[in-house]
Chains A and B, each alone.
Chain A
Amino acid sequence: MLGTGLLQGLAVTAKNLVGSFHDPERYVTMEYPEVKTKLPENYRNFPFLVHDDPKDPLGSLRCVACTICETECPPQCIYIVMDRDEKGKALKRPKVFDIDISVCMSCQICVEVCPFDAIKMDQHYEIAETNRFQGLLLSREQLSKSNAYYHQLHPTEAAAVDALLAEQKAKQAAAKAAKAAPAAKPPAPAAPAANPPPPPAPSAEAPKPPTPPAP
């Protein structure tokens, strides 16, 4: 009969009208500035640089200015200049590390390709600037965030990264020790954890030892 479909539709809208007053399934709006959703741990926004020592945020950056991320970045929004001493010797730290977040597309490829776990994704999304050129060009001073901050954002991922770094450090120390005293004692398996934790979830690649950047 003509009109039954229309009445059915009216019933659905009436159900939703009434339901919006008592059923949270039918009232899904979150009033943003007052109420904020809990971000999932994997949420990514723009990159930041991890430093280990909160007292020296620029000196203790994990970044060694290898420019792998600069090469791999799809929209080419990273600009790195290696720091050098007077003689021109590379100091393995960035003198300039700029990310233009007006260009960055939050793809996380820099995080995936970084062999030093030095660059990670931030979750700060309330970014508004009055100056669209300088304001959105983040320098290494602005990008440098502590490891504790990283733990706060991505706890499981950060724990895995810390374990991995500790393991690598221990290995390096063991290798050095073995090199320094080759005859003293045979090299011991120097991993702190007997069972190394699984590789960090976000980086799809198996962690590699630091390699020189591809030309």
Chain B
Amino acid sequence: MSLPGQLSVLFPLASGLGASSPLAAVLPASDSALERLPLTLRGLLTGWLPASWQWLANSLIAIVVLIVAFASLFALLTLAERKILGRVQNRPGPNRAPLPFLNLRTYGLAQPVADGVKMLTKEDIVPDGADRVLHFLAPIALLAFSILTLAVIPYGRLLVALDLDASVLFFFAAGAATELAVFMAGWASRNKYSLLAAMRALAQLISYELPLLLSVVPVVLMAGSLSTSVIVERQGEWWLGFLPRWYVFTPWGLAGFLVFFVASLAESNRSPFDLPEAESELIAGHLTEYSGFKYALFFMAEYFGMCALCGMAVTLFLGGWQAPLPFLSFIPSYLWFAGKLLALLGVFMWIRASFPRLRIDQLTRLAWKFLVPLALINLGTTAFWSLTADWAGLLQPLRWLIAAGLIAGPFLLLGRNLSKGLGPRTYRYAA
């Protein structure tokens, strides 16, 4: 075995984007130049290096590209979120920040720049009596863990920074650590609101990791692999020659996707589960005592986490970088992935604009009494689906019906149980 080969075992990052990747064989020979564009560019940059150095250069490039791409996506997302919130609320959103040195407003596109300048120039305040080390480390830890989760998502046919065999496991291990950082921030701030937020964050973590993981198990079961690249490959076939075989288009996949989606809203501390930073109750929760660039880091980490979870949802259920229809395959895979990712992020923002916040006990009840049982039942349904894979002819609709019933029945029952005693009321009028 050559040295690079051994290294690629030791450092899976090397094989991920390496030309020696096993996935290279998957790539059709007729692939367009556009599809290969990222690889071609990388080849231009690192091709002149000796082979034993290429893996290092390639992984560095992957890291830099990921961070730069998602940092700029973060900038755009903050603007997009405020714009969408504004439009939903019948107002324009930020539209005034001019481009630097030009008096051009450009629909507020320069707003992230203005925000960045503002954040950087603000005073960095550490409360008296706070745990200075933890207070400093919390945003960094949060950001670091969020970035780690971005590494295992396949952004295109060959674009995965870290192609692990157990990348799904890696993703959730790194993702769970972010709540620890929130707890660090809440504890270190020496503020009662922050402490309450930290307690809430932990309760939320314990409650929502479980449905999140349980909703992924069916996918792993059906794909037969924990590798994200393989999972996406498995969703690449067509029904009747033109319908995509994404997992979301099966009964168990749809249920799993919905559970995953709700749980990822909670994991990324987004409305309606933004309890740790409930601004109407806890001022800003764990962010109360943060200012300036540390605050910006928290914000960045929140968006990175959101992107990672949406990317994972796309990978697991929405066919990853696969095109929705065969004749659309000429569009490069990374563009399909980006489109799906942005659409899901848009739904996140839409939900934020629409819903109020749950209470902490209702949040945990939703997880334990609704999402976890539903995910477990979904696991059983998936087992049924996988066992009946050879049903054909008239049995095929029957298979769909049974699977759908196995999902819908528990959903209705659990939903009724969850909303017991709640409902629209009729009112009487005084005589």
A contact residues vs B (CB 8 Å cutoff) = 1-3, 6, 9-10, 12-14, 16-17, 19-21, 26-29, 31
Contacts and interface: CB of A to CB of B under 8 A. Distances in A.
B170 interface: no
Contacts of B350: 10, 13-14, 17
Contacts of A20: 87-88, 90-91
Q: 6 tightest A-B contacts by CB?
A: A2-B415, A13-B354, A29-B91, A20-B87, A17-B88, A13-B88
Given A9-B354, A13-B353, A14-B350, A2 B89 contact: no
Contact of A17 (B84, B355, B411, B415): B84
B354 A10 contact: yes
A12 B91 CA distance: 16
A29 to B, nearest CB: 4
Nearest to B417: A2
A130 B95 CA distance: 28
Given A2-B416, A9-B354, A10-B351, A27 B88 contact: no
Given A2-B418, A3-B415, A27 B90 contact: yes
A36 B246 CA distance: 53
A13 B350 CA distance: 8
Contacts of A2: 411-412, 415-416, 418-419
B326 interface: no
Interface in B316-359: 350-351, 353-355
B92 A29 contact: yes
B415 A6 contact: no
Contacts of A31: 92, 95
A28 B90 CA distance: 6
8 contacts: A2-B416, A9-B355, A13-B353, A16-B89, A17-B84, A17-B353, A26-B90, A28-B90
Contacts of A13: 88, 350, 353-354
Nearest to B351: A10
Interface residues of B, number: 19
A14 B87 CA distance: 10
Contacts of A6: 354-355
A33 B412 CA distance: 54
A12 B354 CA distance: 8
Contacts of A17: 84, 87-88, 350, 353
A151 to B, nearest CB: 36
B36 to A, nearest CB: 38
Contacts of B84: 17
A16 B355 contact: no
A26 B87 CA distance: 9
Interface of B: 84, 87-92, 95, 350-351, 353-355, 411-412, 415-416, 418-419
B429 to A, nearest CB: 24
B351 A21 contact: no
A37 B46 CA distance: 61
A29 B90 contact: yes
Nearest to A28: B90
Which one of B87, B415, B418, B419 has the greatest number of beta carbons of chain A within 10 Å?
Answer: B87
A21 B415 CA distance: 36
Contacts of B353: 13, 17
A26 B84 CA distance: 14
A9 to B, nearest CB: 5
Contacts of B419: 2
Contacts of A12: 354
A18 to B, nearest CB: 9
A111 B107 CA distance: 45
B87 A21 contact: yes
B415 A1 contact: yes
Nearest to A5: B424
Nearest to A2: B415
A195 to B, nearest CB: 49
A28 B91 contact: yes
Contacts of B91: 20, 27-29
A26 B89 CA distance: 8
B211 to A, nearest CB: 15
A74 B351 CA distance: 50
Nearest to B354: A13
Nearest to A14: B350
Nearest to B356: A9
A200 B214 CA distance: 77
A23 B88 CA distance: 12
A16 B415 contact: no
A19 B91 CA distance: 11
A24 to B, nearest CB: 10
A10 B354 CA distance: 6
A12 B88 CA distance: 9
A10 B272 CA distance: 13
B87 A1 contact: no
B140 to A, nearest CB: 36
A2 B362 CA distance: 14
Contacts of B415: 1-3
A20 B88 CA distance: 7
B418 A16 contact: no
A31 to B, nearest CB: 7
Identify which of A6, A13, A21 gathers the most chain B CB atoms within 10 Å of its CB. Answer: A13
A151 B412 CA distance: 69
A13 B87 CA distance: 9
